[in-house]
C-alpha cells in the first residue's frame, strides 16, 4: 500500500467511558491507516467497539466518553485533541460524514426530504436558493430516487425503508465529504434492497471520489464492496488485510470463528459452528489476547502477554501468538471452505409425511370500510408436515408475518381455511379448541427485547403461558416446569430472578424460546428470530432450535428475509410476494434451480462470502409487468412433485422447458 496516500491515521487510540460509577475501556490501543480512495470494512460482534472507534473521527462520542490517549491524524492535524464544537464543525459532515443504521431516526419526520438534503448543501457547499435546490434534485437522482422533483416535496413516512436509506446517503454525499462512514447501512433492509444500497455506495464512491468505511457485524455483506477488512474484537483491531486475504487466508482464531459461523459456509444437517463463551468485561483490565478464553487453540502465553502484530504479507497482519515463529502450527478448528458444501440432511421419506398444518386459499384484509380495505394476504395455500422446518421468505410487507399471526389467531381471516391437526382453527371456534391452539401453537418473535416484559423477572416471563391457561397443579410443579424450560435452552435456573435488560441479545432470545417451549407445543412459528443478532449468536440460536426439534419432535414455520439462514435450516421454502406465494419447493431444489422471476431476483441478491464470486455475480431485478396477468390470470400449479408455482399457461410452458433443461 506504499503507493497510496494515507488520508487518516489512528495510532494507539484509547477511549474510555464513565458508566455506573466505573470506567469502561471501549477502545484499547487500536491503530489503523486509512488510504485515500479505498473501501475499508470494519467487522466484529456487537460491543467490539466498531461504532465508538469511528465516531471518534467526528467528535461524536457520548458525553460520558473521552479519548484517553493516542492520536487521530487527519489533514496533518491531531483531531483527537479537539474538544469544542467550533473545532469539529469544519470536520463533521463537511470532510467526514456518516450514514447511520436506522434511516427513520436519522430524518426529521416533520420536514420534507428535499429541504433536509438541501440544508446540508447550503451549510457545507455554500450554495443557496434555486441553485441549491437544483443540486439537491441532482443528488436525489444520483442515489436512485425516481421522480426526484416530485419526491423533493414528500415526507420521510412516504418513503420505504430502502428509499429512506437513500435519502440519508444523499444527505451525507451532499456535504461533499472526503471520508464517508457507513454504520450498518443495510442491517434493517431486505436482501434485494441491501444489494441495491451496496451497489449504490460503490457507484457513489467512484462518482464523488469518496473514501468509504463500512461498519458491519456480517462478513458476508462486505465481500462485494471492501478493498480491505479490519477485524475488531474487544476494542482492538486484531487482524487487517486485503479482502481476499481475510476471506481466503484468515490468521486470527476470531476471524476463523466469524467466517465459520456464516450459514453460507455451514453443512446442512450439521450444527453450525458457534463461538463459545462471551466477549470480555471491558470494565476490567484484559491480560494477554482478549479472545483467549473463547479460543480452544489458545496457548499459555495468550493468557499472559498481549500479542503485537505479526506480518503475514506486506498488506496483511494479525495480533495472534499463533503466528510467532516459535509457536507450533495450529490449523483452523474446521476447514474454511468458501464454496457451499452439499446437504447432508436426510430428506423426509416420500410416503411418510403427516400434515400438521394445512393452509387453504387464505385471505387476510385490513381496514374496516370497504374503500379503505387492504388485502395483505391473497389466496395463499401451503401445508407443513410434522417434524419439518418450513420456510416462508419474501421482502418486508410481503405478508409473511401476517400469515404467522393469522395461524396463531392474532389476525382475523377474511377467507380460506387454516387446518391444524385436522381441525379448522380460524374464525369462530369453541373455548376448548382455542385453549388447545394457544398451547400447541407458539410464536418466537423478532426482537427479543421488545417481546419481553422489561419490568418482569425471567421466572414470570417464562411462566406467563402457564398462568394464562392454568396449566399446572401447584406452584411447585410450575417452578419445576420453568426450571426445565430454561435448562433446555441452555440457561441456568439462577437467571430466573433477573430482568431482561441484564442479558445479552442471544440470551434474551433463549428466554423467548423457553417461554414457547414451556407450553409443550407441536408447532412453533419463528418470526425473524435471529435478525437482530450477531453472526456468532445467530449460530447458537439456530443450533439450539435444531437440537430442540430433534429432542422434542417440534415442527417450525420459519419466517425470514435472510435467505442464507433459510437455506441452512429449512426442508421446504415458500416464496411470497405482495401477499401471494409465487413458488414453493424443497429447499435445495429451489435454491439451485429457481423458476419464478421473483424467486430468481430474490436469490440473486444473497450475499456470497467469497469476494471473487460476489464481484462477478449478476443481480437480477424483478419487474412484475412482465406477467401480463390482466389478460391471462395465473393459477397455483404443481409443476412437478412437491414443486408449486404461480403461473398462467404461457409461463407454465416456459417453466416446464427450464425444468427439462435442468434435469438433463
Distances (CA, A) of 543 to 108, 124, 292, 547: 41, 50, 23, 6
pLDDT value, residue 341: 42
**Alpha helices in 143-226, H assignment, sequence order:** 148-151, 161-174, 191-207
d(CA 599, CA 591): 9
d(CA 407, CA 403): 6
CA 277 to chain centroid, in Å, comes to 21
Q: Comparing 22-31, 84-93, 523-532, which segment has the lowest mean pLDDT?
A: 523-532
Identify which of 546, 560, 552, 521 has the alpha carbon closest to the alpha carbon of residue 421: 521
The yes-or-no verdict on residue 337 having pLDDT over 70 is: no
pLDDT in tens, 573-615: 999 999 999 999 999 999 999 999 999 999 998 888 889 888 8
pLDDT value, residue 2: 57
**Grid coordinates given for 663:** 434435469
How large is the average pLDDT for residues 95-103?
A: 86
Identify which of 500, 483, 490, 570 has the alpha carbon closest to the alpha carbon of residue 537: 490
The yes-or-no verdict on residue 114 having pLDDT over 90 is: yes
State phi, psi for 371 to the nearest 5 degrees: -75, -20
pLDDT in tens, 271-323: 888 888 878 989 999 999 999 999 988 999 999 999 999 999 999 999 999 99
d(CA 240, CA 270): 30
Percentage of the chain lying above the pLDDT 90 cut:
64
Instruction: Of 114-118, 191-195, 370-374, 559-563, give the range with the top mean pLDDT.
Output: 114-118
Half-sphere exposure of 447 (CA within 13 A, CB side): 6
Identify which of 208, 105, 212, 116 has the alpha carbon closest to the alpha carbon of residue 171: 116
Query: Model pTM?
Result: 0.86
pLDDT in tens, 245-284: 999 999 999 999 999 888 887 777 788 888 888 789 899 9
Task: Supply the mean pLDDT for the chain.
Answer: 89
C-beta separation of 250 from 256 below 8 A = yes
- All residues at 6 or more sequence positions from 170 whose CB lies less than 8 Å from its CB, including other chains: 117, 139, 140, 142, 143, 145
d(CA 404, CA 409): 9
The yes-or-no verdict on residue 376 having pLDDT over 90 is: yes
The yes-or-no verdict on residue 105 having pLDDT over 80 is: no
CA 415 to chain centroid, in Å, comes to 33
C-beta separation of 73 from 252 below 8 A = no
Strand order in the sheet with 355-366: 374-385, 355-366, 415-420, 423-424
d(CA 570, CA 546): 10
C-beta separation of 77 from 9 below 8 A = no
Q: What three-state secondary structure class fits 333? A: coil
Strands 389-393 vs 555-560: parallel, antiparallel or unpaired? parallel
**Grid coordinates given for 211:** 473514501
Identify which of 30, 397, 380 has the alpha carbon closest to the alpha carbon of residue 230: 30
Cell 392454568 -> residue = 470
pLDDT in tens, 344-360: 444 554 556 899 999 99
DSSP 8-state class, residue 324: S
Cell 495480533 -> residue = 319
Q: Where are the beta strands (DSSP E) in 520-648?
A: 523-527, 555-560, 572-577, 580-586, 635-640, 643-647
pLDDT value, residue 103: 72
d(CA 63, CA 61): 6
pLDDT value, residue 342: 42
C-beta separation of 561 from 531 below 8 A = yes
DSSP 8-state class, residue 387: T
The yes-or-no verdict on residue 532 having pLDDT over 70 is: no
CA 574 to chain centroid, in Å, comes to 20
Regarding predicted confidence, which is higher, 397 or 642?
A: 642
C-beta separation of 75 from 81 below 8 A = no
Amino acid at each position: 500500500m506504499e503507493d497510496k496516500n494515507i488520508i487518516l491515521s489512528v495510532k494507539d487510540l484509547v477511549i474510555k467511558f464513565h458508566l455506573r460509577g466505573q470506567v469502561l475501556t471501549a477502545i484499547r490501543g487500536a491503530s489503523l491507516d486509512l488510504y485515500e480512495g479505498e473501501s475499508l470494512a470494519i467487522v466484529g460482534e456487537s460491543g467490539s467497539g466498531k461504532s465508538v472507534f469511528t465516531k471518534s473521527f467526528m467528535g461524536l462520542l457520548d458525553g460520558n466518553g473521552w479519548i484517553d490517549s493516542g492520536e487521530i491524524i487527519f489533514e496533518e492535524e491531531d483531531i483527537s485533541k479537539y474538544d469544542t464544537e467550533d473545532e469539529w464543525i469544519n470536520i463533521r459532515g463537511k470532510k467526514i460524514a456518516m450514514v447511520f443504521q436506522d434511516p427513520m431516526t436519522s430524518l426529521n419526520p416533520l420536514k420534507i426530504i428535499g429541504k433536509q438534503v438541501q440544508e446540508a448543501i447550503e451549510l457545507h457547499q455554500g450554495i443557496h436558493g434555486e441553485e441549491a435546490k437544483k443540486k439537491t434534485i441532482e443528488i436525489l437522482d444520483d442515489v436512485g430516487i425516481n421522480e426526484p422533483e416530485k419526491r423533493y416535496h414528500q415526507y420521510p413516512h412516504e418513503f420505504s425503508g430502502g428509499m429512506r436509506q437513500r435519502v440519508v446517503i444523499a444527505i451525507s454525499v451532499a456535504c461533499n465529504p472526503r471520508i464517508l462512514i457507513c454504520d450498518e447501512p443495510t442491517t434493517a433492509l431486505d436482501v434485494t434492497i441491501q444489494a441495491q444500497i451496496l451497489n449504490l455506495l460503490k457507484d457513489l464512491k467512484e462518482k464523488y471520489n469518496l473514501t468509504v468505511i463500512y461498519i458491519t457485524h456480517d462478513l458476508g455483506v462486505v465481500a462485494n464492496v471492501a478493498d480491505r477488512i479490519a477485524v475488531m474484537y474487544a476494542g482492538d483491531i486484531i487482524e487487517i488485510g486485503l479482502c481476499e486475504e481475510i476471506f481466503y487466508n484468515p490468521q486470527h482464531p476470531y476471524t476463523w470463528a466469524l467466517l465459520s459461523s456464516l450459514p453460507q459456509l455451514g453443512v446442512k444437517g450439521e450444527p453450525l459452528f458457534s463461538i463459545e463463551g462471551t466477549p470480555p468485561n471491558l470494565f476490567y483490565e484484559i491480560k494477554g489476547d482478549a479472545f483467549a478464553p473463547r479460543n480452544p487453540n489458545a496457548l499459555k502465553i495468550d493468557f499472559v502477554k498481549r500479542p503485537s502484530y505479526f506480518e503475514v504479507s506486506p498488506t496483511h497482519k494479525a495480533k495472534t501468538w499463533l503466528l510467532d515463529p516459535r509457536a507450533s502450527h495450529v490449523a483452523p478448528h474446521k476447514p474454511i471452505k468458501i464454496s457451499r458444501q452439499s446437504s447432508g440432511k436426510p430428506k423426509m421419506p416420500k410416503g411418510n409425511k403427516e400434515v400438521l398444518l394445512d393452509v387453504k386459499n387464505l385471505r387476510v384484509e385490513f381496514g374496516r370500510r370497504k374503500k379503505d380495505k387492504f388485502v395483505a394476504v391473497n389466496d395463499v395455500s401451503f401445508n407443513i408436515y410434522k417434524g419439518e422446518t418450513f420456510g416462508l421468505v419474501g421482502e418486508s410487507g410481503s405478508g409473511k408475518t401476517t400469515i404467522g399471526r393469522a395461524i396463531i389467531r392474532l389476525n382475523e381471516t377474511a377467507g380460506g381455511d387454516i387446518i391444524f391437526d385436522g381441525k379448522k382453527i380460524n374464525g369462530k371456534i369453541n373455548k376448548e379448541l382455542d385453549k388447545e391452539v394457544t398451547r400447541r401453537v407458539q410464536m418466537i418473535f423478532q426482537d427479543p427485547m421488545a417481546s419481553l416484559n422489561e419490568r418482569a423477572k425471567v421466572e414470570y416471563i417464562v411462566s406467563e403461558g402457564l398462568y394464562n391457561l392454568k396449566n399446572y397443579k401447584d406452584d411447585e410443579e410450575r417452578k419445576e416446569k420453568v426450571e426445565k424450560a430454561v435448562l433446555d435452552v441452555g440457561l441456568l435456573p439462577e437467571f430466573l430472578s433477573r430482568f431482561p435488560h441484564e442479558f445479552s441479545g442471544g440470551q434474551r432470545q433463549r428466554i423467548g424460546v423457553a417461554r414457547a417451549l414451556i407450553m409443550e407445543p407441536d408447532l412453533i412459528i419463528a418470526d425473524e428470530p435471529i435478525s437482530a443478532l450477531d453472526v456468532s449468536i445467530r449460530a447458537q440460536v439456530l443450533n439450539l432450535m435444531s437440537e430442540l426439534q430433534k429432542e422434542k419432535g417440534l415442527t417450525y414455520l420459519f419466517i425470514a428475509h435472510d435467505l442464507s439462514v433459510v437455506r441452512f435450516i429449512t426442508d421446504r421454502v415458500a416464496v411470497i410476494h405482495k401477499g401471494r406465494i409465487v413458488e414453493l419447493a424443497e429447499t435445495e431444489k429451489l435454491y439451485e434451480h429457481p423458476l419464478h422471476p421473483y424467486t430468481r431476483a430474490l436469490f440473486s441478491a444473497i450475499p456470497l462470502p467469497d469476494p471473487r464470486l460476489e464481484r462477478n455475480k449478476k443481480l437480477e431485478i424483478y419487474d412484475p409487468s412482465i406477467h401480463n396477468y390482466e389478460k391471462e390470470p395465473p393459477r397455483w400449479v404443481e409443476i412437478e412433485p412437491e414443486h408449486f408455482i404461480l403461473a398462467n399457461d404461457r409461463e407454465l410452458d416456459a417453466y416446464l422447458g427450464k425444468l427439462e433443461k435442468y434435469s438433463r
